[in-house]
Amino acid sequence: MREITSIPPTLGLEDLLFNGYSEPDEDKDEVLQDMKSHSDNVTVIFDGVTELSSLVVKKLVEKDLLPDAKIIITCRPDDEEDLCPEDWLRVEVKGFSEETIKTYLSTTLGDDHREVLSNVELMTLCHVPMYALMVAASFSSGDSLQPRTVTEICINIVRICLQINSNKPRIKNLNQFIKTKANEILSLAEAAFYATQRKTVNLEELSCDDSCVLSFLKQLDVKVAPTETRTVYAFLHYTMQEFFAALWLLKNPDKIREVFQQCLTEEMKHMKHLIPFMCRLLIEKSPCLMSCLTPAEELQETRNWFMEEMIDTFSTKADDNELYVDTLFLCQCLYESQSSEACVYFLNKLDFYLDLSGEDLDPHSCCAVAYVVTQSKERKINLNLEDVTVSEQGMKQFFGCLQNVEWHDSLPLQLWMVVLLSEGQTECAELLHLCKNDLHLPVVESSCKGQCLSLLGSRRYGLQQSV
């Protein structure tokens, strides 16, 4: 779909298949007619969709064209509701298991993979295959500093790529070199920002021609007519495009509040993905990047208001005066920032009550929540885990922060439900210890009770049934 987004919305099926994608060796009219006559034998895969901007793509998805064809769409979970009809089969890629992460890292990093395995934050990131690749790339550079967040990994990769493509591999002062490339980097960042706003991966009006900076991009030659092609550029991965877009937004702080408000709308909610990057880029910490692109006093002015205003924006009161909080998103932002002060401000705003009910938490989300909870030194957190789904890796993060959690009556039941419905069973013994060998289960969930009792074997524990 990186190439498809460049094709005019009025494109027909024939051009989509044979000009936008690939032209068959035999007569294309015959092939097209065969596809229409036997559409039940056709499978069309749209990979990495952000929106259905093309009319012909929309018609294929809605089965107005090739009605019996199998249509497969891959997209981010955030885009799913806008792209797929409700009656479609939904498959979610859960990512790498802990064992797969170890296999992948040992294959790519050799003995160095043990450094990643000892870093809990990086392990939780690696369940996403793309982040596992980025972690491996970051460690392959030989840098002794271990990144903890997605933003730090992106910073490392940008710095490594600039050094490699500078034709000066032995640069002693990389920060100074980045400063000499600031205008070119920010020019690319501006193109990334406006492309992200449009929900496209193709960069338009790219004025940067510096080969070192353009090394982040892939060149695409798109066929627009039988004898004419147009060259466009795209980032190697959408995550890097959003990262560069965040760079430009921080350089233009007068637009940040406008983007905050846009994120609250259905049409522009995808702009939220820029904000976690901004939270880390503002911090004065090594490895640095933003401080090489903008004066220190400008960054400080933004720091003075950014975190509190960001938290306030995503903690809004609805018409019924009830506070609506995007809890999981804010925890991810706070984790990227690694700011204890911001966490305490957030928890104070919520009166130290974190409502995660109904959330499906991946390991990295659990890592973010656990980080926020552990920043509360003076007061216990009231944690709501009702109907929460957590993987086995994620449960390890939760158990690490429970000493900061208020042990209210419903929490043991919620924890037991989370553990018993998770993929693994290794956390049962630890939870039994935390609950002083009491087992808390709802009366109606007989399947959970049976599963748990089979785990206990012949050992004796107190059983408390909760209605």
Considering the domain architecture, whether residues 64 and 8 belong to the same structural domain is answered as yes
User: Would you give the distance in Å from CA 149 to the centre of its chain?
Assistant: 11
* Shared domain check, 134 and 43: no
Q: Are residues 62 and 20 in the same domain?
A: yes
CA atoms of 308 and 303, how far apart (whole Å): 9
Res. 447 pLDDT band, cuts 50 70 90 = low
Q: Can you give the pLDDT at residue 466?
A: 44
Query: For the purposes of burial, counting CB atoms within 10 Å of the CB of 245, is it exposed (0-12), middle (13-18) or buried (19 or more)?
Result: buried
C-alpha span between 83 and 250 (Å, rounded): 31
Q: Note whether 103 and 78 are same-domain residues.
A: no
What does the alpha-carbon distance between residue 107 and residue 113 come to, in Å, rounded to a whole number? 8
pLDDT at 327: 93
Q: Answer for the pair 423, 448: CB distance below 8 angstroms, yes or no.
A: no
Distance of CA 82 to the CA centre of its chain: 18
State which residues form the domain around 49: 4-83
Last residue of one domain, picked from the residues 23, 51, 83: 83
344 in a structural domain:
no
Please tell me whether residues 148 and 199 are part of one structural domain: yes
User: Which pLDDT band, with edges at 50, 70 and 90, does 2 fall under?
Assistant: low
Same domain, 130 and 237: yes
β-pair partners for 324: 316
pLDDT at 467: 37
Which of 186, 208, 241 terminates a domain? The answer is: 241
Q: In which band, very low, low, confident or very high, does the pLDDT at 460 lie, cut at 50, 70 and 90? A: very low
pLDDT in tens, 420-430: 777 555 567 77
- pLDDT tens for 120-137 read 778 888 888 888 888 887
Residues in Cβ contact with 348 at an 8 Å cutoff, skipping those fewer than 6 apart: none
Is 117 within a domain? yes
Same domain? For 205 and 112 the reply is yes
Q: Is the pLDDT confidence value at 459 over 50?
A: no
Q: How far is CA 434 from CA 8, 422, 438, in A?
A: 60, 18, 9
- The answer to whether the beta carbons of residues 5 and 200 sit under 8 Å apart is yes
| pTM metric for this prediction | 0.81
Same domain, 125 and 199: yes
Position 306 in a domain: no
Please give the pLDDT value at position 287: 82
Residues 50 and 115 placed together within one structural domain of the fold: no
- Among 192, 224, 241, residue at a domain's last position: 241
Asked if residue 322 is part of any domain, the answer here is no
pLDDT, one tens digit per residue, over 198-224 is: 888 888 778 888 888 888 898 877 666
Any domain includes 382: no
Query: What's the number of domains the chain is made of?
Result: 3
**Residue 446: pLDDT above 60?**
no
Same domain for 19 and 131? no
Pair 171, 63 in one domain: no
What is d(CA 169, CA 5) in angstroms, rounded to the nearest whole number? 36
* 78 and 109 share one domain: no
**What is the spatial distance between Cα 256 and Cα 278, in angstroms, rounded to a whole number?**
10
What pLDDT does 201 receive?
82
Is residue 263 one of the residues assigned to a domain?
Answer: no
Structure-token pair, residue 419: 């553990």
On whether residue 463 sits in a domain, the answer given is: yes
3-class secondary structure per residue, the chain: CCCHHHCCCCCCHHHHHHCCCCCCCCCHHHHHHHHHHCHHHCEEEEECCCCCCCHHHHHHHCCCCCCCCEEEEECCHHHHHHHCCCCCCCCCCCCCCHHHHHHHHHHHHHHHHHHHHCCHHHHHHCCCHHHHHHHHHHHHCCCCCCCCCHHHHHHHHHHHHHHHCCCCCCCCCHHHHHHHCHHHHHHHHHHHHHHHHCCCCCECCCCCCCCCHHHHEEEEEEEEECCEEEEEEEECCHHHHHHHHHHHHHHCHHHHHHHHHHHCCCCCHHHHHHHHHHHHHCCCCCCCCHHHCCCHHHHHHHHHHHHHHHHHHCEEECCCCCEEECHHHHHHHHHHHCCHHHHHHHHHHCCCEEECCCCEECHHHHHHHHHHHHCCCCCCEEEECCCCEECHHHHHHHHCCHHHECCCCCHHHHHHHHHHCCCCCCCHHHHHHHCCCEEEEECCCHHHHHHHHHHHCCCCCEEEEEC
Q: Is the pLDDT of residue 240 over 60?
A: yes
Residue the block writes with tokens 């792209």: 83
In a domain, residue 33? The reply is yes
Residue-wise pLDDT for 334-365, tens only, equals: 999 999 999 999 999 999 999 999 888 888 89
Residues with Cβ within 8 Å of residue 195, at least 6 apart in sequence: 201, 202, 203, 204, 241, 245
